[in-house]
Structure 1
Amino acid sequence: MRRIILILLLIAYTKPEKCEQIKIGNEFYKRQLIATIDGYPTGMTIDPRTENIFFILHKRNYTKGIHILKHGSLGVKELPLSDDVIGQCVAVDTVNNLIYIGTNQGLVTYDNSRAEITAERPMGDDDVRNIFIDKIDNQMYITTGSNHEIFKFMNGSAAVKRYDKIPKAYSFVLDSKGNAFYEYVDGRLYFFSIDLYEPVQYKGFTRELKYILQLNNSDEAIVAVKGSLYRLFTKSILPVKLGQLGFRITGMVFDNKNNIIIGTKGKIYRYKPIDGNDPCPADDYFMSSI
């Protein structure tokens, strides 16, 4: 009897570690807390070269500026913008090794190595609300002003041209085929397929301002709505639900390792795909707090 008990204890001791898992789409992910913050993050962007995460920190009824969570860091820091400049969005241009910050007074660039604002792009005093950089041709688009009109830069110069395909939008993404997915100023989601001549509205969502719209590493349009993730298609007006996270999502971005970085009130999580051979991947982030 004693021998049987010892064998059972040995089996229990050598049993592989279990960890919290959640299914998103067809994959299982492990959730890891990588930062706690006093507020909630929006406009999340990740630099694939350094894995540093940029976001806008909101606290109660006001914005506390653009912050950076450096990979492996023990703290979250605010970017050093001047007092009269309000940071509103961030985009990483990996081809030209630049980090752009959209502000209420135009575009500025951030030097990651020196941790300082280095230059302004000649954009006058335009109010830049959103930036999208197309990974296919590195074309940069900006959304400006209270009307949320979209412009694109011409041949890498300072000249801009109105993007007529989408006249106005809070945010938008273009996949590698040129299909556009966007939130129009009426608070609804649309797509503009290269095979069609006019935009089409997605069904199934209640009117929700400020959808969180991103492309994943498979060139798929993913949208976060309240606490759920959906995939958007150009062959159907019905989004496909991928998973329910159990809390309100305020920020989302995909890194180059197929991880999903998710922001919510008080926390930033990383969802890491689980390999069948490694059911509990190690945590390689220090947990930061602000």
Structure 2
Amino acid sequence: MSASLAPEQRSSRRWAIAGGLVGLLLAVLLFAPASWLAHGLADASNGHLLLTETRGSVWSGSGVLVLTGGEGSRDASALPGRLEWTLRPQGLGLVLRLRQACCTNGELNLLVQPGANRLAISLPHQVPGDWLARLPAAWLGGLGTPWNTLQLNGSVRLSAQDFRLERVGGRWTQTGRLDLDLVNLGSRLSTLAPLGSYRLSLVGGQAAGQSLLQLSTLDGALLLNGQGSLGGGKARFLGDATAAPGREAALNNLLNIIGRREGARSVISIG
């Protein structure tokens, strides 16, 4: 039988094991695959926003951004090109830098602050009136009905003001404002092009953690207006669509499809 280890040897062995575990943990963190980021994005978006064909690591990589109708949906639409990112520590959080040749206004910086059972994402150093990204409106077809039926063309311009998302206990809440400008929209359901330009705003800080959802018309022959709320994974919206004077005949077919007809207007109801 071998002699028992001396106290000094036992202590050295414990330190060696601890050092090996720390080294293994650092290796996992430093070389974590990009697919880990993809899994986190899919989970946070309930399967509506996917990162596919990933390359590299969590810290520096790229992938194809895909919009889908969620679990069980056959609809999917990918942005052209690849989304590139880097992730670096900053203070008590991380800075995620995003760039996509087709769509971002230079480099988009997100401040990520993880914590115990919580996650906060904010947009620092925003320039008022500046846009963050410009996306093809056709990308929205990936969400399924009714977007795949409308088959929109035009562009979607994203801007924000003091925008912050926080997830606590599996629920997202928003502060600040996020604007989606749908610019020069057209649809295969209408020969009139463009239909118009519109603003969809999401304003946080409302009661019970809800965000206010507002739709307004900037210009055009198709007039869209309405409001609702978003929170707890559920959206509620009530609005209407009408044709500008003299455009009723050209838009009649589209108005029959996008909502419930009540005379000259079409009622749009969600939730």
Q: What TM-score do the two structures reach when normalised by structure 2?
A: 0.28
Considering only CA atoms, is the larger Rg found in Structure 1 or Structure 2? 2
- Which structure is higher in helix share? 2
